[in-house]
């Protein structure tokens, strides 16, 4: 079995790769468990070198059909589509966001369709597909109404995957991820980057600017739960999902102020003093358009993991700071 991961050089892509290598098997399109023979990591930059012979790295533009023809072959049983232009950049650079978040996604679906073998395809979507006047807890069947180009591009890709699945071209699974926190590395152009920055930078002795009010509620998930969720989503049977291929993943609904309080409990007031509160109206408009809580009853019933608490998420991140260097990955992507 061959597996393709777009965005494979990124933070979540690298963690998913490690989890798949350890697992060793995935369910093939037939539903039977098969050994993973190769994982092809596709990204604009080459993935970090791996001593594992099952890893192949391809550096290239995923919007380029020739790159996709190179990596999607008759042996590709599974595709994890994680690559994306992050929310803030997609808002600033409309053409780039459309090219990577929408056009490349359709090109990927077309490459799968051309092979004619209906691979399983897991797509990392986002709660950014929601927006507008939302209730405190967004119901599972709420209509999407994105208020950003990023959310719009994710929503359009969701529809494409649902239709390609209906037509029998792929076996698609769309996972709407919460904001992922805490990410290692450096801040990126994602509107949600602050949700990691207000934890990561202070722990590193650096100042972090929080662009939203402490009362702002966010729907978050740990990297561990996200990676586990990708695998759970892949392994679900088509019958379990039915015709509704979009799943809201379980998250934690926390106020930004509660995140800071948890950081103080874990690391003390001197660390928290590194956070500077400076509201950014542009970012705040995007962030507050996203749901602060979702009804993820269906996701839990399907077996997707749930984080215990914000304290547990921060504690798990702190534990990685003393972990071997090999556990730290230099790139980031947003889902």
State pLDDT tens for residues 202-214.
Answer: 999 999 999 999 9
Cα–Cα distance measured from residue 230 to residue 127, given in angstroms and rounded to the nearest whole number = 16
Cα–Cα distance measured from residue 3 to residue 17, given in angstroms and rounded to the nearest whole number = 10
Catalytic annotation present for 150: yes
**Strands 208-210 and 275-277: what pairing?**
parallel
Cα–Cα distance measured from residue 124 to residue 334, given in angstroms and rounded to the nearest whole number = 9
Query: What are the residues whose beta carbons fall under 8 Å from the beta carbon of 289, sequence distance 6 or more?
Result: 128, 130, 131, 132, 146, 147, 148, 151
Size (the chain), residues = 335
Cα–Cα distance measured from residue 72 to residue 52, given in angstroms and rounded to the nearest whole number = 21
CATH number of this structure's domain 2-327, picked from the four choices 3.40.50.720, 3.30.1490.20, 3.40.50.300, 3.30.413.10: 3.40.50.720
Query: What are the residues whose beta carbons fall under 8 Å from the beta carbon of 66, sequence distance 6 or more?
Result: none
Assigned token pair, 50: 């791996």
Cα–Cα distance measured from residue 314 to residue 75, given in angstroms and rounded to the nearest whole number = 40
**Strands 217-221 and 252-255: what pairing?**
antiparallel
Query: Residue 333's pLDDT is what?
Result: 42
Query: Residue 29's pLDDT is what?
Result: 87
Cα–Cα distance measured from residue 288 to residue 127, given in angstroms and rounded to the nearest whole number = 12
Residues in the chain predicted with pLDDT less than 70, given as ranges, are 323-335
Residue 64 half-sphere exposure toward CB, CA atoms < 13 A: 11
State pLDDT tens for residues 97-129.
Answer: 999 999 999 999 999 999 999 999 999 999 999
Cα–Cα distance measured from residue 54 to residue 91, given in angstroms and rounded to the nearest whole number = 37
Q: Where are the domains of the chain?
A: 2-327
């Amino acid at each position: 079995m061959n597996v393709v991961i777009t965005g494979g050089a990124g933070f979540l892509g690298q963690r998913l790769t490690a989890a798949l290598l350890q697992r060793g098997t995935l369910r093939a399109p037939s539903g039977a468990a098969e050994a993973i023979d190769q994982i092809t990591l596709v990204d604009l930059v080459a993935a970090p070198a791996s001593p594992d012979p099952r890893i192949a790295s391809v550096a290239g533009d995923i919007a380029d059909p020739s790159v996709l023809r190179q990596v999607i072959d008759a042996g590709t049983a599974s595709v994890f589509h994680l690559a994306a232009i992050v929310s803030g950049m997609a808002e600033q650079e409309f053409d780039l966001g459309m090219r990577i978040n929408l056009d490349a996604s359709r090109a990927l679906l077309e490459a799968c369709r051309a092979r004619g073998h209906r691979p399983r395809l897991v797509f990392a979507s986002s709660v950014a597909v929601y927006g507008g006047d939302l209730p405190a807890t967004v119901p599972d069947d709420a209509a999407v109404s994105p208020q950003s180009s990023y959310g719009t591009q994710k929503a359009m890709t969701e529809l494409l995957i649902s239709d390609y699945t209906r037509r029998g071209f792929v076996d698609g699974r769309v996972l709407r991820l919460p904001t992922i926190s805490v990410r290692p590395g450096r801040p990126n152009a994602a509107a949600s980057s602050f949700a990691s920055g207000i934890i990561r930078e202070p722990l590193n002795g650096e100042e972090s600017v929080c662009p939203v009010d402490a009362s702002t509620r966010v729907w978050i998930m740990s990297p561990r739960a996200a990676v586990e969720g990708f695998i759970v989503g892949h392994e679900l049977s088509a019958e379990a999902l039915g015709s509704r291929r979009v799943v809201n993943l379980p998250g934690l609904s926390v106020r930004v102020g509660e995140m800071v309080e948890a950081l103080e409990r874990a690391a003390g007031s001197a660390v928290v003093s590194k956070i500077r509160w400076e509201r950014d109206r542009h970012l705040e408009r995007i962030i507050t358009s996203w749901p602060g809580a979702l009804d993820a009853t269906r996701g839990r019933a399907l077996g997707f993991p749930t984080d215990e608490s914000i304290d547990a998420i921060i504690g798990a991140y702190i534990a990685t700071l003393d972990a071997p260097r090999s556990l730290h990955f230099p790139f980031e992507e947003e889902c």
